[in-house]
Amino acid sequence: MDRQTILTLLQQVREGALAPEQALLRLKLQPFEDLGHTKIDHHRGIRQGAAEVIYGAGKTPAQIQEITDSMVRGGQSCILITRMTGEAAAQLSGSTAQFAYHALARVGIVGAVPPPNAPGSILVVTGGTSDIPVAEEAALTAEVLGNRVERLFDVGVAGIHRLLYSLDSLMQARVVIAVAGMEGALASVVGGLVDCPVIAVPTSVGYGASFHGLSALLSMLNSCASGVSVVNIDNGFGAGYQASMINHMGGEVS
């Protein structure tokens, strides 16, 4: 949908020829932009409140470049690219204005990260240092979506006093993202301490019997702590997105 079409819709609403609800429905149902290899959903932000995110895995640098250019033309001011390779990042660095690449999290961000507009904060907690890449994907996702994010790393159950030392941060968070591999016990411990939702993220960190994160996933799914939900293995993006939705439910900060 181009600007003229949107202006026409708005004029029809102003003149009483079209109900606001009908105009909103037309905006929601507008077609996507077809690039051949990708169909860009420019109106996802209207339907869901957050614009489309680029999943970089399996896409060539050229495809990511073309998708990014399309989103910029469509008016998207901040674009999140997850699971992005260094090769793709190098291409965008040379051709796209205001691009930042976070190599540890494999996350690229085009444009300025918006200031926080949610009433609360999200706390991202990891069991160990090896969980930080997934945790950073979650944290950066939440920041791009307009949240204030705090980080608390390497506070796993092998030295639980490190977690208890930061009880103030835990108690003040509106949502906690608990990221852990091995046996995944961190989510249950955090869930038993806080009065807010806990989003558990199992990671593929661990020795052979961890089965590339399956052990942590099953532990988190079987948590006896109330209020713990679980996303897929290594899915920091999913946790950050869900945490943002929860954090914005109380309304936005004006």
pTM of the model: 0.84
State the Cα–Cα distance between residues 58 and 103, nearest whole angstrom. Answer: 17
Domains and their CATH numbers in the chain:
32-110 (no CATH), 121-250 (3.40.50.1970)
In this prediction, residue 180 carries a pLDDT of 96
**Could you give the C-alpha distances from 186 to 176, 198, 219, in angstroms and in order?**
11, 11, 10
| Contact by Cβ (8 Å): 167, 190 | no
Other beta carbons less than 10 A from residue 203's beta carbon? 28
The tens digit of pLDDT for each residue in 103-146 reads 999 999 998 898 998 889 999 999 999 999 999 999 999 999 99
The tens digit of pLDDT for each residue in 184-205 reads 999 999 999 999 999 999 999 9
| Contact by Cβ (8 Å): 219, 184 | yes
State the Cα–Cα distance between residues 167 and 193, nearest whole angstrom. Answer: 8
